[in-house]
């Protein structure tokens, strides 16, 4: 029951829904999420970590960049179904469409990578 509540809690925030929307398009570094959603590094990281902890995302480092993507391979059936419902619900949403358009022009910032944030704790251990 607790895991189910945490899953829905993660989806109860508009910013996290917007992040899932852009991550269904492609993997993003924290700085790209910041650009698309006009967020500070700390807010973007906090929301990404919440989605990671809830089981929606995977995380990897590439040099100095912190990259997040939908964890299709390891998500359970509930998470896969919820992500599909979200995609369908946001297909015609104007904010979601604007975010997807902004994502097309978002870039990794600078040679030093994204501002450092807390790497997510491995939830599988």
| CATH assignment at residue 68 | 1.10.10.10
Output the CA angle 15-108-121, nearest 5 degrees: 60
> How many distinct structural domains can be found in the chain?
1
Asked whether residue 70 is domain-assigned, the answer is yes
Burial code (b: 16+ CB inside 10 Å, e: under 16) for 77-96 equals eebeebbeebeeebeeeeeb
Asked whether residue 74 is domain-assigned, the answer is yes
Q: Look over the chain and give the mean of its residue pLDDT values, rounded to a whole number.
A: 88
Kindly report, residue by residue over 64-113, the tens digit of the pLDDT.
Answer: 888 999 999 999 999 999 999 999 999 999 999 999 999 998 877 755 55
Output the pTM of the full model: 0.86
Predicted pLDDT of residue 1: 87
Predicted pLDDT of residue 110: 58
Model confidence at 14: pLDDT above 50: yes
Average pLDDT estimate for 47-57: 95
Asked whether residue 114 is domain-assigned, the answer is no
Asked whether residue 111 is domain-assigned, the answer is no
Segments forming the whole domain that contains residue 18:
2-103
Predicted pLDDT of residue 125: 43
């Amino acid at each position: 029951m607790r895991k189910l509540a945490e899953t829905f809690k993660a989806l109860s925030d508009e910013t996290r829904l917007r992040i899932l929307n852009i991550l269904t398009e492609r993997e993003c570094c924290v700085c790209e999420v910041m650009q698309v959603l006009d967020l500070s590094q700390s807010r973007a990281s906090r929301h990404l970590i919440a989605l990671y902890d809830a089981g929606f995302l995977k995380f990897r480092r590439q040099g100095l960049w912190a990259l997040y993507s939908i964890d299709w391979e390891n998500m359970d059936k509930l998470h896969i179904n919820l992500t599909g419902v979200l995609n369908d619900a946001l297909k015609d949403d104007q904010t979601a469409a604007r975010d997807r358009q902004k994502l097309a022009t978002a870039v990794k910032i600078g040679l030093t990578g994204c501002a450092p944030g807390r790497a997510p704790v491995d939830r599988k251990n």
